[in-house]
Structure 1
Amino acid sequence: MENRKKVAFYTLGCKLNFSETSTIARNFQDEGFDRVDFEEVADMYVINTCSVTENADKQFKQIVKKAMKLNDKAFVAAVGCYAQLKPEELAAVDGVDLVLGATEKFKITDYINDLSKNDMGEVHSCEIEEADFYVGSYSIGDRTRAFLKVQDGCDYKCTYCTIPLARGISRSDALENVLKNAYKISQQGIKEIVLTGVNIGDYGKGEFGNKKHEHTFLDLVKALDEVEGIERLRISSIEPNLLKNETIEFVSKSRTFVPHFHIPLQSGSNEILGKMKRRYQREVYVDRVNKIREVMPNACIGVDVIVGFPGETDEHFLETYNFLNELDISYLHVFTYSERDNTEAATMENVVPMNVRSKRSKMLRGLSVKKRRAFYESQIGTNHTVLFEGENKEGYIHGFTENYVKVKTPWNPELVNTLHEINLTRIDEDGSVRMEFLNVEA
């Protein structure tokens, strides 16, 4: 048994990547490998890459360097979005032995022979058109929450985005398979499942390689609500044009789905939305927010927004700022636009200077702090259910309410991965919320 090889994983990017890393790791364990932390000495290091931000590219080199420092004889493999888009570039990084594209990453154990290092990274990547099959994934690691992949790829042609190039066409898991995976997760004692994918509102398309929707996103949500043993379900991120009123209404009455939506906006200017080739105008976004507020007044609504897109003038930016300032939302995820190869936006004129991009980004981040604070203040004095996480942070345990308010209370290991009825009492200096238990046993 002492000959068992050790493998470690590092994941860059989104929840979807985390769910896929977790699945790949289980494949290694089935092949007789022991999984260890990335900080430990391993025989093999697998890096799941991301192509969404400039940083993810640079981080890759640093992570390889770190792995080589831990064990300079270790076999290093790169998988994921950046590995699909720029395989030769990754293969040329000192220390990298294997680069696998979109269709090969789930078959990684087939590509490993004796783990001896290569002089040059070996590349196995496909034409992205070949990525037309679906591999289900889910993450189990953080005991309180699991990411469940329900969909992959995207048919949208947003001018700034490389995801369709990195992940291929929109395709979904079969409904019975999603339900099976959800049940497996619930059997592990995990209390919350976060649904994830590239464009999950498009769920049901191409289940069996066709473009017909076998099921809709609403069908999926309704079916998951029936799965025994799941306490909470969270929709991670969904396009405003695909978030239908029926879904919002169902979530408001659902047994398990929580009142938390994350809806990408990207710009509050219709002109910029047009240049981005987004599939809605800002008026649709207002409708979505109003509908959520109408049926779930305490819901948490998160927004993705991009600053510094080519052609974004000061007027366009102020339009976005004022639009968000007036909108009843709870927080922002702000992305500074960065040029990506092979995208339409990369060749557009009227490039916004970097210093302007970062100034705008700073302004929106400030707005996000203000919005989150206002949302938290609106929740003080109200009762909620909190799910506690597993970490002792400076003598406190943190958790999230169903509507995504971050709470803290003095550390007690017995609270980890448990749900409790609480009352929100006040906002702490660090921005999280203090609470009182309503159920006596705590």
Structure 2
Amino acid sequence: MENKKKVAFYTLGCKLNFSETSTIARDFQNEGFERVDFEEIADIYVINTCSVTDNADKQFKQIVKKAMKLNDKAFVAAVGCYAQLKPEELAAIDGVDLVLGATEKFKITDYINDLSKNDMGEVHSCEIEEADFYVGSYSIGDRTRAFLKVQDGCDYKCTYCTIPLARGISRSDALENVLKNAKEISEQGIKEIVLTGVNIGDYGKGEFGNKKHEHTFLDLVKALDEVEGIERLRISSIEPNLLKNETIEFVSQSRTFVPHFHIPLQSGSNDILKKMKRRYLREVYTERVAKIREVMPHACIGVDVIVGFPGETDEHFLETYHFLNDLDISYLHVFTYSERDNTEAVDMDGVVPMNVRSKRSKMLRGLSVKKRRAFYESQIGTNRTVLFESENKEGYIHGFTENYVKVKTPWNPELVNTLHEINLTKIDEDGSVRMEFLNVEA
């Protein structure tokens, strides 16, 4: 019996990338490859790249080095957003053998016939206009939750963003296919599904990007709420202009959707939002938060924000800072603006010096800590449901409540991937929350 070839994967970037890596990995396994951890010696290393920040570009080189250190004869393939945007650049990196663009990445096993090393990476990339078909995917691996892709690409023209160049036009999975994938996930005993995509609120644009909306995001949410066997559904990131009141109201009464929203803001200054070509002003954002708080006072609300965008003066930044400080939100994801080729913003005046960008970023990260603490404090004494994760961290098992409070209790392997009614008792030094079980059988 011939030894199985081993393949290992490394994913940079977003939840969508994780769901796609998982799907590509299953294709390899179906072709007879054995999947191993990236830290192990493998015959093939596949790196799913990201183009959102500078850092993800730099990380790529380090990951290739790491793979080469493990096995200098291994075949290294790069897929994903950065591979679409800068294929030649990746192909020139020492050790890289194959670079696949947006349409090719799901056919990777067709390209891997000969595993001998190349002097120069071979590139198969497409014009992004060709990325007009949809490939459904979902991630399974972390046993407690799965990322289910429902949409890909984006028609928005935000001036800082390369994602439309890397992923193409907005297109969606057929509703019946999403439901089929959701059922498959639930049959594996997974308790929580996180919906993911590039711009999931835009769900409904047809497979080939035709603009006919067969179903809306609200239709999707309602249909998923009825899938048997799923305990929890979580909406990942959704644009404020696409998060409609009907969806918020439905989530507040739904069987499985949890009270947790992650809504990109990017700036609290209308001047900067206009320069970014975002499709809303801060007033819309305030309305969304108020609506969520009205129907789900205990909901967790996360916010994406970018600091140091060209033309962001101290006044603009303080406008953002005070706007967020006054808003009843739960935590921030802070991104430091980084210049990306072929975006409008790269040619804008008013470049913010790097040291100013990092100072602003630090201020908002400090605000995030304060916001999360205040949110956790507001939850002490309440009863919630927790889903426990699978890791033993220094003698404790962690989990998340439906409204995304991180809790901990002494390690017990029987708790892994189980749901329990609990009472939140106090905040621990590490920032997570201690808990007591309710209805414990004596």
Deviation at 1:439, TM superposition (A): 2.4
The 8 Å contact of residues 420 and 439 in structure 1, kept in 2 or not, is answered as no
The 8 Å contact of residues 154 and 198 in structure 2, kept in 1 or not, is answered as yes
Aligned partners of 1:2, 1:408: CA distance in 2, in Å? 46
What SS is found at the alignment partner of 1:399? strand
The 8 Å contact of residues 234 and 257 in structure 1, kept in 2 or not, is answered as yes
Q: How does 1:226-265 map to 2 (within 5 A)?
A: 226-265=226-265
The 8 Å contact of residues 179 and 224 in structure 2, kept in 1 or not, is answered as yes
Identical counterparts, % of pairs = 94
- Deviates further, 402-411 or 113-122: 113-122
Could you give the per-residue CA deviations for residues 42-82 of structure 1, whole angstroms, max 9, x where no partner exists?
00000000000111000001000000010000000000000
Deviation at 1:227, TM superposition (A): 0.2
> Unpaired runs of 5+ in structure 2?
none
The 8 Å contact of residues 207 and 214 in structure 1, kept in 2 or not, is answered as no
Deviation at 1:206, TM superposition (A): 2.1
Aligned partners of 1:199, 1:161: CA distance in 2, in Å? 13
Aligned partners of 1:341, 1:382: CA distance in 2, in Å? 48
Could you give the per-residue CA deviations for residues 229-252 of structure 1, whole angstroms, max 9, x where no partner exists?
000000000000000000000000
Deviation at 1:119, TM superposition (A): 1.1
Aligned partners of 1:210, 1:171: CA distance in 2, in Å? 8
The 8 Å contact of residues 154 and 167 in structure 2, kept in 1 or not, is answered as yes
The 8 Å contact of residues 132 and 208 in structure 2, kept in 1 or not, is answered as no
Aligned partners of 2:439, 2:334: CA distance in 1, in Å? 38
Deviation at 1:35, TM superposition (A): 0.2
> Unpaired runs of 5+ in structure 1?
none
Aligned partners of 1:95, 1:361: CA distance in 2, in Å? 35
Aligned partners of 2:24, 2:265: CA distance in 1, in Å? 32
Could you give the per-residue CA deviations for residues 304-327 of structure 1, whole angstroms, max 9, x where no partner exists?
000000000000000000000000
Aligned partners of 1:79, 1:165: CA distance in 2, in Å? 15
Deviation at 1:258, TM superposition (A): 0.0
The 8 Å contact of residues 267 and 306 in structure 1, kept in 2 or not, is answered as yes
Deviation at 1:109, TM superposition (A): 0.4
Deviation at 1:355, TM superposition (A): 0.3
The 8 Å contact of residues 170 and 209 in structure 2, kept in 1 or not, is answered as no
What SS is found at the alignment partner of 2:106? helix
Deviation at 1:2, TM superposition (A): 4.2
Aligned partners of 2:133, 2:365: CA distance in 1, in Å? 39
Deviation at 1:211, TM superposition (A): 1.2
Aligned partners of 2:373, 2:2: CA distance in 1, in Å? 53
Deviation at 1:275, TM superposition (A): 0.1
Deviation at 1:368, TM superposition (A): 0.2
Aligned partners of 1:114, 1:41: CA distance in 2, in Å? 18
The 8 Å contact of residues 266 and 305 in structure 2, kept in 1 or not, is answered as yes
Q: How many residues align?
A: 442
Deviation at 1:208, TM superposition (A): 4.4
Q: TM-score, normalised by structure 1?
A: 0.99
- Deviates further, 207-216 or 96-105: 207-216
What SS is found at the alignment partner of 2:332? strand
Aligned partners of 2:439, 2:345: CA distance in 1, in Å? 54
Q: Where does residue 104 of structure 2 map in the other structure?
A: 104
Could you give the per-residue CA deviations for residues 126-151 of structure 1, whole angstroms, max 9, x where no partner exists?
00000000000000000000000000
Deviation at 1:441, TM superposition (A): 3.7
RMSD (CA atoms)? 0.7
Deviation at 1:117, TM superposition (A): 0.8
The 8 Å contact of residues 192 and 234 in structure 1, kept in 2 or not, is answered as yes
Could you give the per-residue CA deviations for residues 145-185 of structure 1, whole angstroms, max 9, x where no partner exists?
00000000000000000000000000000000000000000
